Structure 1
Amino acid sequence: FSLTDEQKQFQSLARQFTKDIIIPQAAEFDQREEYPAEIVKQAFELGLLNTIIPESVGGLGLGLLDEVIIGEEIGYGCMGIYTILMASELGITPFLVAANDEQKERFLAPLLEAPKLAAFALSEADNGSDAAGLKTRAEFDGDEVVLNGSKMWISNGGLADITVVFANYAPEKKHKGVIAVVVEKDTPGFSHQKIHGKMGQRATYTAELVLENVRVPKANILGEIGEGFSIAMKTLNKTRIPVAAGSVGIARRAIDESVKYATERIAFGKPINRFQAIQLKLADMKIGLETARLATYYAAYLVDNNLPHISAAAVAKAHASDIAMMAANEAIQIHGGFGYISEFPVEKLLRDAKLNQIYEGTNEIQRIVISRELNR
């Protein structure tokens, strides 16, 4: 197979943007734990932000394969910066899964007017993998929904113009008692606190969200009452594929940096890439990269063609993020002591890659998903 001309153009655009804009600044934003507002603005101006907004409301309406092609390139430059863009697509996906036309027009069209973000608020401090056990509560009061609770580890949290919040209106119903409801930025009672001290992906603004008697119209509920858990799962079964794409980008960067260093580093009178120990490491990294990319492309293809994709998405996410960790770790080993300091980019690759094994469903959860699909 081959990419379409349009996909090649998006790939080239994202690759050039990464080379010219992201890579020169990535370390600085990582060190300062600072949100790169100007980079996000430039991504918006190039059409690389909120790319999946449907054409029906004025967006590009890109497919998932298009998205992962772009994602690999940006993940190559900085996974933390990519997560900002990716998390906005994550926040948009519930609209593609469950929103009506009026909701798409009301909430998504404004995201095309400026570098605005969306967010997805499912996880809580005491609740990550057990998505049916949400403690955030929703009560109905006439034509309004009243929300109380908190959300944790929310990428773009507090910065996003719209946040899809998952809340429990009937705890006794467990996963059938969850709703997905849109909360707009600056809604009274809706506040956030930035989470500091992250190991990696430090350019991403990650926050705790607090909801204190937050009132929103019932018209902000996506899908039907009680469908929130299903909407969340359908969303994640798609959006963990872009996580795989970012992981592929990390692995590719780890290989490129390692090949460059191993070519220049002289030991025992010759470049270290002449030693079989280094050659074998590079070969294993390359094998992992190619298989991870193919798994990611395949999962995206299934989504774009409305074919069953739950297992393929889990395979891609788990495999690609494991490969990213392996490749980054081997890159540090190849660099030796220089790999352990921030003067070289490979230590950041390792710190960034670790989160890809955790968010949007831990890799342990992915393996459970794969096993369940096998035993259906």
Structure 2
Amino acid sequence: MTTSRTPVASQVDAEDFADILAQTREFVREKVVPREQEIGESDAIPEDIRQAAKDMGLFGYAIPQEWGGLGLDLTQDVELAMELGYTSLALRSMFGTNNGIAGQVLVGFGTDEQKARWLEKIASGEVVASFALTEPGAGSNPAGLRTKAVRDGDDWVITGEKRFITNAPLADLFVVFARTRAADENGTGIAVFLVPADTPGLTVGVKDRKMGQEGAWTSDVHFDEVRVDSSALVGGSEDVGYRAAMASLARGRVHIAALSVGTAQRALDESVAYAATATQGGTPIGEFQLVQAMLADQQTGVMAGRAMVRDAARAWVDETDRRIAPSAVKLFCTEMVGKVADLAVQIHGGSGYMRDVAVERIYRDVRLLRLYEGTSEIQRLIIGGNLVKRAQRS
């Protein structure tokens, strides 16, 4: 049994990636943007859009090519995410866990056998993978987990409850974090298991009703003495779970920051277009200095966020900063997009408060970005704590 914990470098050269990025941009802006209202009203991604995403390889863009993916590294991932963020965030959510927090657990920590069984199906979109970490009373910090896994012969029996699990109603595979013992000198006692959705004892709750992000489905997941064999234990180790969760979440935070920049760019573009054409007393409102000041603040935020995202992604890939930078960029960019969206509604005036206006949807959608994969408050603790530890070590 062998495991791999070193992230795979990009397997796509600059010329090929430019083509991928251009195709994604065209897909988002010409195929998805015109159907945002349909996605919102139906609370679902249309099947033809889902199939097109599969055909383009979007379910596996961050999965290595040897397992059927495109093999993008994080510097390329964030460029793609900035394009995907330009439209309804439900689009990215549809395949985000396959490429991100769920898929990367297998890429970085799975055994060869586990990768061979699951990764090609994840990359093709045949399997939707779901990251089951958050619980009632325990958010993105796995140290507070209550879900338990108990060994029974060669099997493991999992009991517990997960909450707000993205893609749970659609998932074929759950990447489940559970405590096997109390933390001790040998490790955290947190393991991660691969649990097919049809395993007896696993039930998915009703679809959550959320403020925004219609079409991105979440729900509770219950484990009532769910039995899996030893091959379901990721990496073959009881102590892989904590490291796998932290690594996947840190990488995912850079991705979420990039997604935020893409959404902020869309809010800015909508604001500029409205300011240039809407009139007050016969004068385009964009000629008013206070409106120009709001546009300037939006533009500054977008530019700063884009630069931070690219810098943090490079630091991740070259392994110079995988602790502070991911939290700093998520903190800044998710807070920034909230401010940009708020200004977009303000610039639109009463129109910005109306359903079916893009900035109204954006305003609701982006509020979640400050909450999942670690709240802004948690990011501040990670940043500050690591700065102090760095100083103490030196």
Settle same-fold status: TM greater than 0.5. yes
Matched with 2:193 is 181
Distance 1:252 1:55, change over 3 A: same
Matched with 1:40 is 50
Normalised to the residue count of structure 2, the TM-score between the two structures is 0.91
Matched with 2:217 is 205
Cα separation, 1, equivalents of 2:312 and 2:322: 6
Matched with 2:6 is none
Q: Is the 8 A contact 2:45 2:90 kept in 1?
A: no
User: Please, which runs of 5 or more residues in structure 1 have no aligned partner?
Assistant: none
Q: Is the 8 A contact 1:158 1:209 kept in 2?
A: no
Cα separation, 1, equivalents of 2:171 and 2:254: 22
| Superposition CA RMSD, Å | 1.7
Decide which of 23, 26, 32 is 1:22's aligned counterpart: 32
The 3-state SS of whatever aligns with 1:281 is helix
- Say whether residues 1:267 and 2:277 are aligned partners: no
Distance 1:7 1:290, change over 3 A: farther
Cα separation, 2, equivalents of 1:95 and 1:158: 21
Q: Is the 8 A contact 2:351 2:357 kept in 1?
A: yes
Decide which of 77, 84, 91 is 2:87's aligned counterpart: 77
AA matched with 2:281: F
Question: Where do residues 1-376 of structure 1 align in structure 2 (5 Å cutoff)?
Answer: 4-89=14-99, 90-171=101-182, 173=184, 176-223=188-235, 224-376=237-389
**Per-residue deviation at 1:116?**
2.9
Normalised to the residue count of structure 1, the TM-score between the two structures is 0.95
**Per-residue deviation at 1:134?**
0.9
Q: Is the 8 A contact 1:40 1:115 kept in 2?
A: no
The 3-state SS of whatever aligns with 1:49 is helix
Tell me the number of residue pairs that the alignment of Structure 1 and Structure 2 aligns: 374
User: Please, which runs of 5 or more residues in structure 2 have no aligned partner?
Assistant: 1-12, 390-394
Distance 1:361 1:343, change over 3 A: same
AA matched with 2:168: G
Cα separation, 1, equivalents of 2:278 and 2:16: 39
Q: Is the 8 A contact 1:158 1:185 kept in 2?
A: no
**Per-residue deviation at 1:35?**
4.5
Q: Is the 8 A contact 2:165 2:218 kept in 1?
A: yes
**Per-residue deviation at 1:146?**
0.8
**Per-residue deviation at 1:71?**
1.1
Higher mean displacement: 19-28 or 312-321 = 19-28
**Per-residue deviation at 1:269?**
2.5
**Per-residue deviation at 1:225?**
0.9
**Per-residue deviation at 1:43?**
0.6
Cα separation, 1, equivalents of 2:234 and 2:126: 23
**Per-residue deviation at 1:129?**
4.1
Cα separation, 2, equivalents of 1:312 and 1:290: 17
Cα separation, 2, equivalents of 1:204 and 1:16: 22
Distance 1:172 1:113, change over 3 A: closer
Higher mean displacement: 239-248 or 83-92 = 83-92
Higher mean displacement: 182-191 or 256-265 = 182-191
Cα separation, 2, equivalents of 1:362 and 1:188: 33
AA matched with 1:215: R
Q: Sequence identity of aligned pairs in percent?
A: 34
Q: Is the 8 A contact 1:342 1:348 kept in 2?
A: yes
AA matched with 2:122: L
Cα separation, 1, equivalents of 2:316 and 2:250: 9
**Per-residue deviation at 1:152?**
0.5
Higher mean displacement: 170-179 or 307-316 = 170-179
Cα separation, 2, equivalents of 1:51 and 1:113: 10
